[in-house]
Structures are given as structure tokens and as C-alpha cells.
Chain A
Amino acid sequence: MQWEVVIGLEVHAQLATHSKIFSGASTAYGAEPNTQADLVTLGYPGVLPVLNQEVVVMAAKFGLAVGATVAPRSVFARKNYFYPDLPKGYQISQYELPIVEHGHIDLTLEDGSVKRIGITRAHLEEDAGKSLHENMGGKTGIDLNRAGTPLLEIVSEPDMRSAKEAVNYMRRIHQIVRYLGISDGNMQEGSFRCDANVSVRPVGQQELGTRTEIKNLNSFRFVEKAINFEIERQIEVIEDGGKVVQETRLYDSDRDETRSMRGKEEANDYRYFPDPDLLPVEISAEFLESVKAAMPELPQAKAARFAAQYGLKSVDIEVLTAAQGTADYFEAVAAGCDAKLAANWVTGELGAALNRDGLDIAESRIGPAALIGLLKRIEDNTVSGKIAKDVFATMWDEGSDADAIINAKGLKQITDTGAIEAAVDRVIAENPEQVQQFREGKDKVLGFFVGQVMKATQGKANPGQVNQMLRDKLNS
């Protein structure tokens, strides 16, 4: 039987505020346990939540970025459940009237076609604390620093049809929240994570199959692997004559499998009701206008502009616009030299060096101005592209500028025809066998000669010039 996969994602993005959603406690990551848990976070009697304005701005930005309706009026609700990482006995969330509804993301699929994924809603809520079970002598330790950190939960329609599409969608959401500066998107620190709802049905069937929910996926790779495992598992269950049970499952990355979380499942009766401690949130047209005015250029618009303004290839554009920082860096370099050369170096040499050292482009050892300094020397033929790579490596390691390195190491390209000619003559004289081969029509041998001359000149000869001169001499 042919199966169709149906996937919907709930993405949780921690909003990059300084203080918590309902109190003035810090949200900084990595502090000593409970040093950022104030009275509101701890759920002391008599305290009241006061909504952080920045959180509303951030949610509105997201809504605008995905073509959604930003609700003029939204309401906070209590989601009731007992768990020690949530001392109040309820999580403040939004239920019937979320702040953002009816948005979408357009995905470009592998075949180049565009597929629209619906965003049902995005609502604001508070994160819970952390429970630690290891080495606690049979007890549980609670750290409430994370409790009360603002989250935007972004719920998609069940529009995705493969794990690849789901990852593609999640990457786009990740890119957008980072462009907007509303979340740092740091998946290792849990700032960006998702739950995946997965079901399968026979191709052609309208009715949805029974779904399972895979919780807390915190890397793009895990999302893909967990969903693929779950698809296989569900198909196997059905083909063996069984039924998929609606349940919550956990992905175990060590074993690459999902496991049932049975037991925690009982009585999911959250008894949502409007939180009497919080008034409805009203967003005026003026407020929304001011948010709109402060919106940055978004990835898709930037990609279109890069194509029109710089005439770059779409592969390069994808890399350059993946993150705002990369795009800004590229534009700073392209302002000082040829844009295509800039694109090649930012996506190539620079990207590789950043990757190797695990650095963000903001932490690059070579800034845009320094890179321009190097690329200008390629443009004016002071160094060849190959030598430039060596200069780049030295700049990266030692931090000095291109000209200083070129001068100190004597890397200036030899443009003196006499010097090149001497090297060419010597190489031809030393390799009569290859000369013979070339004259018999083996054109490929030319590469050997070029290599020899470059070696003889320590790579400083202009390759174009060497090529021409070799051809002239060998053909004469």
C-alpha cells in the first residue's frame, strides 16, 4: 500500500527579552540555579503578573513577517496542571484568542516548486523550569531560572508531507525569528525547539490517520530522524494489523527511536480559563504601524534583491541570506570590491574558516574591511587567487592585514615577463618527454607545465600569463 505522511509542527521560540514575560527577573542563560527566580516566578501568594511590552512587540513582528493577522485583542488563559517545574499549578498561555492567527510560510521544494505551509496560530506563554533527576539521591531538583521566560508557540497546519519538508519549514521559521531579532534560536540552549505531530494514511484517503506527538526535538537533524522513525513505525504497526495509539512520544537520539511516554498521558484536562490576573491585550492600529515601520528586510525580500542588485547565483544567495549577519557581512565587502568575488570568498574561504573554528560570522577573525583589503589585491593582480588563499590563512591566524603579509612574505605576483619567461624556458628544457607528448597532441600535458612553472615561481607567476607563454613556446 502507498502511504501519505501528514506532519504538523509546534515550534517553541524563546523570545530574546532581558526580563521575563510577567516579571522583572532576568532571562539570561546559564546563571546559578534559582538566582533568577523572583516572587512571581516562584508563584508566591499575592503577587501579580505584569506583561512585558517587548513580548507583545515581538509577537506582532512575527505575525507581520508570516502574513498573519495580529489580533487587536488577545487573552491570556490558565492551563492547569501540577508539575514542580511550574510552582503556580498552572501555566499562563493563550487559548481561545491568541495574539497571532492565520499566517503562512512559502517553502521552496527541491524541484524548485513553491509550497505554502499554513500557520494556524502563534501564541504567547511562559516557559517552565527545569527538573534535574540525576545524582539527586532519588529526589528531584528544581531550577526555576527558565520558568517565566517568554515563549512564542508557533503552530502549523498539518500541511507537511515528509520529514524533509518539516525540517525545511522549521529552518524557515528559525531564519525568520533570527532576522527579526526576536529569538536567538540557540537550539543547544533550548531557545528553539519543536514538537512534531505525525500521522500516516493510505494515499487518496481524506480522513486523517491517528497521530502521535513527538516532544522536545531540539535539532534539525533530530526532527528529521525522529519523524522518519515515527513514519516507519506507524506504517509497520498498521501493516501488521494493529492500530496507531494517539500518544506522546519521546525521541531518543542515542538509539534513534521514539518511545511512548505512557503514564504521563492520563487526564490531560487542562481546564483552560481566562486568567483573572491579566486583562485582555489590546493592540491598536498605531501600535501595529510602529512595529511595521521597524521591520527589517526579510530573507525572501533580501534574496530577491541580491539576485537583482548583484546578479548572484541562487546557491550563493541561499548561503548569504541564511542569516542576517552573513548578509550584512557580504554587503559590507561587496561595497568595496566586485560583488561576485565577494560572494565567492564569503561563501567559500570565510565560511570554511568559520565552520572549522565553530565561530559565528560576528566573531570572524577577519572583518569585512580586512577582506576587502585582500580582494582588492586579487582585482589589481598583485596576487593570484591561489596565493590569496594563503594570505587569507595567515590573516586568519595572525590577524595582520593583507598588504603587510604580501610584502613581508614577498608574495607579489611576478608580472615581469622576463622572470616568467626564464622559468618557462627552464621547465621546457628540463622536460623533453612531456614536450614531445604535447606536440603529439596530448593537450592535457599543458597542465603539468603550468604546475611546474608555478612551482618554480612559488606560485607567484600570473597563471594566465604562464599559460599563454607556454602555449606560444610549445607550439612554435
Chain B
Amino acid sequence: MALTRKDIEYIAHLARLEVHEDEIPAYTDKLGKIIGFIDALDAAETGDLLPMAHPLNMSQRLRPDVVTAADQRDVYQQNAAEKEGGLYIVPRVVE
């Protein structure tokens, strides 16, 4: 399946990536090749096989419902670009 310029712009937008105009042809070509690999996988006979949700043939381990995390807000918020009154401050999100 060939990708178009529109596809690249759309994927970049979903990933919130800024792609320069002159990079688009290269991405179209390279991502198109990856999609090509997936086409090759499509050729495999999967019939009644259950879709694989995880490569490990195991089931989810469960954790007891116990509070184990102590409050370390001050430590974590050292990495925050902006904070106020315990809140993380981000550019305004318009509702």
C-alpha cells in the first residue's frame, strides 16, 4: 500500500510531531516500505488463529489492593517546568 503526503501529515499530527515540508517525501517513502512489510505479513494464512495480544504466553499477574506508594510530590515536581500550589501548570487547555 502506497502512502500519500496526506497520510504522512495526518500521522505526524496524531503523534504531535512537526515534520518539515522537505522531509515529507523521505517519510512517505520510508514509512511506505514499513507498510510494505506488513503487507507481506498479510499474506500469511491466519485462519482460525486467535489474535495474539502479547508475545509472552502467560497471563497477567495480579497485585493485592494495598496502598504502597508514599507521597513524593515534592521530589517528582522538581522535574516539572512549572508548578503552583501542588498543581502541574501547563499551557491553557481550552475546553
Q: Name A's B-contacting residues (CB within 8 A).
A: 17-19, 23-26, 32-39, 42, 50-56, 73, 75, 80, 82-84, 96-97, 131-133, 136, 138-144, 261, 263-264, 267, 269, 271, 274, 276, 278-282
Contacts and interface: CB of A to CB of B under 8 A. Distances in A.
Given A33-B87, A36-B71, A53 B63 contact: yes
Contacts of A39: 69, 76
B69 to A, nearest CB: 4
> Which of B64, B67, B86, B90 counts the most A-chain CB atoms under 10 A from its CB?
B67
Contact of A133 (B58, B61, B63, B95): B95
Contact of A140 (B59, B77, B86, B92): B92
Contacts, number: 131
Contacts of A18: 65-67
21 contacts: A18-B65, A33-B85, A34-B73, A34-B76, A34-B86, A42-B76, A51-B61, A53-B63, A83-B93, A132-B87, A133-B92, A139-B90, A140-B89, A140-B91, A141-B84, A142-B89, A142-B90, A143-B88, A269-B14, A279-B53, A279-B54
B62 A274 contact: no
B69 A38 contact: yes
A84 B69 CA distance: 22
B86 A38 contact: no
A133 B54 CA distance: 40
B72 interface: yes
B84 A282 contact: no
A377 B22 CA distance: 92
B92 A139 contact: yes
Nearest to B86: A33
A472 to B, nearest CB: 70
A33 B66 CA distance: 21
A114 B92 CA distance: 49
A56 B90 contact: no
A128 to B, nearest CB: 12
A56 B62 contact: yes
A150 to B, nearest CB: 10
B12 to A, nearest CB: 12
Contact of A52 (B62, B85, B93): B62
A26 B65 contact: no
> Which of A24, A55, A56, A269 counts the most B-chain CB atoms under 10 A from its CB?
A24
Contacts of A80: 14
A282 B59 contact: yes
Contact of A274 (B54, B59, B84, B86): B54
